[in-house]
Structures are given as C-alpha cells and as structure tokens.
Structure 1
Amino acid sequence: MFFTGIKRYFGQDSLDWFHRSYFLDWFFVGLLWFLSYLASFWPVFERDFSLEDSLISHPHKQSQIGSALNFGIALYIPLLFLSIVGIKKRSFVSIHHGTLALLAGRGLARLITEYLKHRVGRLRPDFLARCKWDEVAKHCAGNKSAIEDGRKSFPSGHSSTAFAGMVFLTLWIAGQTTVLCPSVTPSVKWLPTRMGTFILTLLPLFWAVHVAVTRVEDYRHHKEDVIVGSLIGILSATVCYLLFWPSPFTSSGTTEPRDLYGTRPQLRRTYELTEVDDDNAINTV
C-alpha cells in the first residue's frame, strides 16, 4: 500500500532506481545510531581535579538551548526542506537520498561524540558547582547524575549535533540552487541574485554557530570542546552528504542525487555487440 501510494503520486517509474543494496545502507545507518546509543551508557572516565582549578569553577547556569530543541531543529528542519522540495519536484529518490544522508551524518557525529565524551571525561567549566565538595567527607556531595554529566565536556554534543544537521542543510541548499557553481546560473527564480542565494545557503550555519557560542556562554563547555564538536559535525555531514549527492562545487549543475547502484533508467548505459558483415570484413583484410 505504501509503495502503491508513492507510485500514484510520484509516477509509475518513481521507484525504478531502488536497489536492494539500499536496505543495507539503511541497516548501517541504523547501526550507527544503535552504537551511539550504547556508547551513551558507557562508564565515564573519572578525571582527577583540583578545588583551586579556575577552569572548572564557573557557576552552574540554565542552558539557553535545550538538548531536545537542538536535536529537533538539527533533524526536522532539514527533513522539512528536502521533503517539501522532493514532493514539489515529484522526486521520491531525492527525499530518500536526502533522508539517508542526513541520518547517516547525524548518527556518525553522535557516535564519535559519545565515544569521546565517555573516554576523555573532561570536566565542564561548572563542574565544581555541580560537585558541591564536602570538606568533611572529602568527596562531591551534589546530585549524582549532574556530577556524571559534568564529566562529559569534551567534545560538545550540542555543537556536533547542530553542525551535523545545519551543514547538511547548507550543502543540500547549495546543491539545489547551484549557487556555488561559478559557471551555472543559480536556479532560485524568486531570488535571482547570486549573493542573495548565497546568503540563503549560509543561513543554517548561523544557527549552528549560535548554538556553539551559547555552550561557552552557559559554562557548559570550554572553547576547545566546542571547536572539536563543531568539526565532528561538519566532517560527518560533509562526508555523508557526498556519499549520496554530487559535490555542490562541481560545474555540472545537477540537482539530482547520485545513482549509487546504476539502477536509475536515465543513467543506465547499455552496450550491445553488433554483427560484422563477413564480406566487408574479408575485403578490409
């Protein structure tokens, strides 16, 4: 019923590109998320600390941007854009490849981030406020979960999440508008100027940068944590985007995703052996 509905709206050939190998692609993307989920339960390395360390003596503040909000924006905003454009173009392959690339980049960034958080165990800038050191008992007397979370400063999960989602969206917009191809006219009819289209392409990055800055302002992370977290998100999104979509910097000007397994009808190449006329062959010898 699901596939019938797709063919009814997108066309009878809308699934001709689909290859069984895509099931494996989805399996491995799911595996990335599952492993990142397991990594979030690993024990955190308990690093020694000094009560005189000024780097971890900042006050504990409420986060300006919560984890759920950051997660939702980095996931659902890109999904909304690629779904709207895919439906308008009646291109189910664009929706499929966009979703797969987005989830792959997000899952890879989350796995790397969670692994490093638990293995490094760097203390947050507000760790001592969470710790509430007891001079008599000689140990932290604060909330146990808050103390454990205070040992997960490196790298910044908010930054890696935001950049993984927003860098993907930036690359996708650049690919759809061809604004980064110097030899191709940008394909946004309602915004005909190249500079205007370029600013539109960069808008998602402003949100990601804003998220990263707030993590330092809220004393949740050191600047190195934010920088590394951002790089993890950028690299994860870029690599996974390029697996499923052509580079937005190429001069081809295509806005279609990659034909990974040579199954899309318009991209197939067939070769046939032609018969050779025996008489002509003899005469040419």
Structure 2
Amino acid sequence: MVTGAAGSYRGSLMEVHHGFLAIWSGRGLTRLITEFLKSSVGRLRPDFLARCRWDPAVQACTGNADTILNGRRSFPSGHSSAIFASMTFMSLLFAGKTAAWCYGVSPPHASFRASKLARFSLTLLPFFCAAWVAISRVEDYRHHKEDVIVGSLIGISVSTVCYLMFWPNPFNPRHFTQQRLGRPRLLYTDDDNASRDANFELTRHEDELESV
C-alpha cells in the first residue's frame, strides 16, 4: 500500500495507522452501500439473457441459479465503486503530500514537487486507472452506463469523506506549512493548537498538588 510505504519511509506510525483507517473505512462503507443498492434495486444486467438461457419449451431460465441471480444485481457497479474508492484515496493522498491542488503554496525547489504539471499529473493517474476499469464494465456488457456512473460517484464521495476524517483538506493552504506538510490529521487534538510546541514532561501527583 502507498500509505504504508510512505509512512514506513518517514518512520511515522501515525501515517501508516491513519492511512489504513482511511482507505479501509472508505472501501468498507462503499461496499456496504453498493451491496445494499444492488439487493434493493435488482436491475438486470445487459447480458442477462445469456445468463438466463431461456427455454421456450419450459418457459423458464435454464442457466446456473447463482449466475442468474447475479444477473439481477447490475445497479450500481461494484467494480466501479470499489476502484474509485481506492483510486480517489490515492489521488487525495498524492495531493496532500505534494500540494498539487493548492496553488497558493510554493513548492520546494530542485525536487519533483517543484513542477506543478508533474504534481498535478501524478494526482490524475489514479483517476485514469479507475476510469479505465469502469469503462471496461460497459464494454464487456456487464453493466449499463448508469450503473457505472452511480457506482463511481459512490466510491468518490465515500472515499473523500473518509479521507477528510483522517487527513487534512488538500485544498487548504494552511495545511502545507513546513511543519505540517503531508502530515495526517490529529484526531484528538485541536488543529489550531496542533502546530504548537507539544513539549511536556511527566511530574509526580504530589508536585502538581503543591503547585496549586
């Protein structure tokens, strides 16, 4: 996983922890919504007749029961929602690490992040991958175009919400200071106070009582 590799490289257990929480919560919630809609709507897939193997003599489908049942679960596209949930997280993570979507931030010189075009292109690569998978579902006659569109929107929306729960907004310039560049959100700390010096030391309870 990208987030695990990045956190391990920087020696940050918090980045690994927040990264896995964000992506798996997004994937899990996306799967839950998609499966609920599939079972509730029951839309026929474009290749349902091939799955059904209709026999005019017996006036019934003669295909495999599981295949026929799966043929009634077209809306929304599970592949589209799952791939967009994963790729949206990666795109947001790249944008949060490079400030590609925050044009008011001056990137460091003499590095890959100094090129605005390179940073922006990097954040778009996951979306191209997700779009290719989603389009292939229509080309293979597994889904209607509406199934793919709605599934993609579910993956993008849920992944974005889950990302912002654990990572700062990639459009906000104040999250790209030298101290906070690419750092995850401190869930249990006020963000306005998170940048302050957090040095402290433990004392005995008796010392605290004497100082009161």
Same fold (TM over 0.5): yes
C-alpha distance in 2 between matches for 1:241 and 1:91:
18
Residue 132, structure 1, aligned to residue 53, structure 2: yes
Residue-by-residue CA offset, 1:209-236 (whole Å, 9 max, x unaligned): 0000000000000000000000000001
**Structure 1 equivalent of residue 162 of structure 2:** 240
Aligned to 1:52: none
Residues 168, 265 of structure 1: alpha-carbon distance in 2 compared, 3 angstrom cutoff: closer
Which has the larger Rg?
A: 1
Structure 2 gaps of 5+ residues are 201-212
Q: Aligned AA for 1:217?
A: E
Code of the aligned partner of 1:152? R
| Residues 80-229 of structure 1 mapped to structure 2, 5 A cutoff | 81-186=2-107, 189-229=111-151
- Picking from 147, 166, 185, the partner of 1:258 is 185
Query: How far has the Cα of 1:192 moved from its partner?
Result: 2.6
Give the Cα separation in 1 of the matches to 2:107 and 2:48. 49
Deviation digits for residues 8-56 of structure 1 (CA, Å, limit 9, x no counterpart) = xxxxxxxxxxxxxxxxxxxxxxxxxxxxxxxxxxxxxxxxxxxxxxxxx
CA distance in 2, matches of 1:173, 1:232: 21
Q: Please give the alpha-carbon distance, in whole angstroms, between the structure 2 residues aligned to 1:126 and 1:104.
A: 32
Count of paired positions = 192
Q: TM-score, normalised by structure 2?
A: 0.85
Contact 2:186–2:194 (8 Å) recurs in 1: no
| Change in 2 beyond 3 A, CA 1:226/1:265 | closer
Distance in 2, Cα, partners of 1:164 & 1:186: 28
Distance, in Å, in 2 between the alignment partners of 1:186 and 1:231 is 31
Find the aligned partners of 1:82 and 1:227 in 2 and give their Cα distance.
27
Would you say the 8 A contact 1:177–1:187 is kept in 2?
A: no
Alpha-carbon contact 1:181-1:249 (below 8 Å) kept = yes
CA offsets 1:59-92 (integer angstroms, 9 cap, x no match)? xxxxxxxxxxxxxxxxxxxx2x112211121111
Counterpart of 2:146 in structure 1: which amino acid? E
What TM-score, normalized by structure 1, do the two folds share? 0.64
Identity of aligned residues (%): 53
Q: Does the 8 Å CA contact 1:179/1:185 hold for their aligned counterparts?
A: no
Asked if 1 retains the 8 angstrom alpha-carbon contact of 2:97 and 2:182, the reply is yes
Cα drift, residue 146 of structure 1: 0.8
Q: CA RMSD in A?
A: 2.2
Q: CA 1:100–1:220 in 2, change beyond 3 Å: closer, same or farther? A: same
Aligned residue in 2 for 1:60? none
Unaligned runs of 5+ in 1: 1-78, 271-285
